[in-house]
Amino acid sequence: MRLLPTLPLLTQYGPFTGVRATRCVGFATLAFTLLLWLNIGVVVLVGCNDDTSIIVPESDARTALSDVADISAVENDSAAIEDTSSDVFDPEADRRARLEAFCPVDSVEVEARIDVLMEELTLEEKTQLMVGTGAFPEDGVYASAGVERLELPGIRMVDGPRGVSHDTGNATVFPVAMARAATWDPELERSIGQAIAIETAARGGDVLLAPTTNILRHPRWGRAQETYGEDPVQLTAFGVAFVQGVQAEGVMASAKHYAANSIEDTRFDVDVAIDERTLRELYLPHFEAMVRDAHLASLMTSYNAVNGDFCSENSQLLSILKDEWGFLGFVESDWIFGTYNTVKAANAGLDIEMPVPKIYGPALESAVEKGDVDESRVDAAVRRILRAQLCYSLDSSPKVKDPTRVETAAHLQLSREAATRAMVLLKNANGLLPLASDTADVVLVGPFANVPNLGDNGSSEATPTNPVTPYEGLVEVLGESQVLLLEDTETEESQAALAAASVIVAVVGLSAADEGEGMIAAGDRPDMQLPEDQRVLLEALAAQDVPVVVVMFGGTAITVESWFESADAVVMAWYPGAEGGHAIADVLLGVEAPYGRMPIAVPVAESDLPPFDNVSLEVTYDYWHGYRHLDREGTTARFPLGYGLTYSTLEYTAMRLSSDTATTDETIRVAVDVTNTGDRLVNALVQVYSSGGVDVERAVKDLRAFDRLDVPPGETKTAEIDVSVRAIARYWTDEGWQEEPGDYVLRAGAHADALSLQSNLLVSGSPR
């Protein structure tokens, strides 16, 4: 039996603060003793037969206490916990509330049925439920095993970060996640999650293997297009919205890849060394929010190791997930090469091995029989698997295929809206854009002018029926006679056509040949530039006495220094999905004003960023990447986080706080006035950052919140944005979360390097 030194662990969740708990769990018996030290805010649970303990923050202590069943397979056991506040916490009520939020149907009935099933299942059947059934998709989906005798159907999984996997047939293909992040519009992302879920169900899927919510540490990562950016605040907003949208349609979302996954070429072997502060503050918050706020149903581990242990058998990561955050769903491995050791994986908390049994199945059954794995570990996994199946009614209401719900007019329109809003106007010299709707003699050049360019050909690949190219989009508006497509710009005839053009639109960028998933697609990028032949093309076009609009495809940051100054206008189109050609035309011709803002900081040169090592099998992820790294080094970004032009002019004129003093329990409302001094309606992005704190080195500024609002011409509108004071003040130490009272500065503006407004905030500690 052990007692821990007093040091409160504080989190941003819940009304209680200043409480510390430890939990001891014995697999044979559970015997708890509560010891309350009222004056110093500590709760210690002691008295386990194996003398083990888990240290958790106060708000997580409720989770740990109320979800003991997932360790012990005694679902109804719970213990009381007290604290020094006036509220009395009821762990059993908390457990019920979390189950009700997680389960779309009656959670009490589900848990009771699980109890019955656990009595009926044999060990062989339990381990059978914990494996996939085939290395290749069957009827378009991957499945985990069921138990026919008990009418348990298993779980059918399908990929789909930008649309339901091509394995199932055609689907609505949306812009990639990085493009959608450029909208800075989580409500739009929620709608996209719903649409993809509807098509997932229509193709027979129970689980959508999305969203990808990995921090973009470096833009050369091959799968950067699948995630939402470099900052955990933005990843949190979009990840939560997507999961909520998916699960609102009765489909389980599976967030991936947990955790610290952002290299392709060595992804199966690389060990990421990361200190706990960096892990907790940057690489895990978005996963935590999806669990707590969106009631995530499923999570996929990543291939890589973290601090010496592969993620599918990483007891630290899986304990944080289940014991601290109270995750109620199931954890599956990444496919084929994602599992390694039977005993380590089972004891760490991997629930399902996909897509076939290598270390589970008979191997796991044998490990239990030999005593290497306690059967309670298997029971805990099976309870999670059954909970998912029954909460989502896979046994009573199996998905019915319905092709009429795929590629509907509404979903195609949503894809077009998302693509249009994702476009980022990076340059617009002399107001070249928008082009007039009757513009004649438009010449299109470049490798992607009339070629569908939808993104990676790896597991995220989705196939539309009728993808729209930029040429097709412009022809639909301007007419075929006014748009000339040149596939070869070096002939004498082509040179004459270029010289006679009113405007040249060069469609360049990256494709699936340049970036994508490792081993099964292109892998990591060799550098951050456009391919050399495209740079040569743009330099040649600059010699023409004709305005040049550059439209770029790609999944993340592209450096532009060799040609940017000679271009008249530049638009980042990302991989814009099936309706991308229409969206490009909408923006170039002014049907829609540019809405997108950069979800990442783009450097002037790749050397401005930390090195990207996709060769070594041991790498270190420190605290500094993206805009945080640039700020620390005093280096100016070419395009800062949140940068983007529009077809009007905006002024950020005033900032007010609801209070200039606050405790860490409180939320501050930040009001920011934005004036449209131009002549057309535009939508403004407002970002709020914080600076301050001396206890540990912090970023020069940290993004804390953001919002968007329409601003009509000549008017001033106010964005009202809530900011958690605890998020501003807290940081991770060896003893857990700490909060630093003191003076902080809140800054607001259009993007990370245009924070023209600021207010001071005095933060005091939480009242005891």
Angle at 302 between CA 301 and CA 303, to 5 degrees: 130
The mean pLDDT value of the chain amounts to 90
What confidence score (pLDDT) does residue 615 get? 98
Q: How far is the first Cα of the chain from the last one, in angstroms, to the nearest whole number?
A: 28
Q: Using CA atoms, how far apart are residues 145 and 467, in angstroms rounded to an integer?
A: 36
**What are the residue ranges in the chain where pLDDT is below 50?**
1-86
Q: Are 587 and 425 spatial neighbours (Cβ–Cβ below 8 Å)?
A: yes
The dihedral over CA atoms of 199, 204, 206, 208, expressed in degrees to the nearest 10, equals -40
Q: Which of 342, 356, 261, 344 is nearest to 299 (CA)?
A: 261
What confidence score (pLDDT) does residue 36 get? 27
Compute φ and ψ for 507, nearest 5 degrees. -105, 105
Q: Using CA atoms, how far apart are residues 121 and 151, in angstroms rounded to an integer?
A: 12
Angle at 38 between CA 325 and CA 727, to 5 degrees: 40
Cis amide leading into 259 (omega within 30): yes
Q: Using CA atoms, how far apart are residues 11 and 64, in angstroms rounded to an integer?
A: 14
What confidence score (pLDDT) does residue 76 get? 31
Q: What is the DSSP letter of 173?
A: P
Q: Are 433 and 549 spatial neighbours (Cβ–Cβ below 8 Å)?
A: yes
Three-state secondary structure call for residue 745: strand
**Active-site entry in 167, 185, 323, 334:** 334
Angle at 142 between CA 139 and CA 148, to 5 degrees: 90
Determine what percent of the chain falls in helix, strand and coil, rounding each to the nearest 5: 30, 20, 45
Spell out the alpha helix ranges (H) of 614-731: 626-633, 725-729
Q: Using CA atoms, how far apart are residues 215 and 234, in angstroms rounded to an integer?
A: 10
Measuring CA to CA, how many Å separate 267 from each of 302, 335, 562, 686?
A: 8, 12, 32, 36
State yes or no: is 334 an active-site residue.
Answer: yes
What confidence score (pLDDT) does residue 767 get? 66
Q: Using CA atoms, how far apart are residues 256 and 271, in angstroms rounded to an integer?
A: 18
Q: Which amino acid, 738?
A: Q
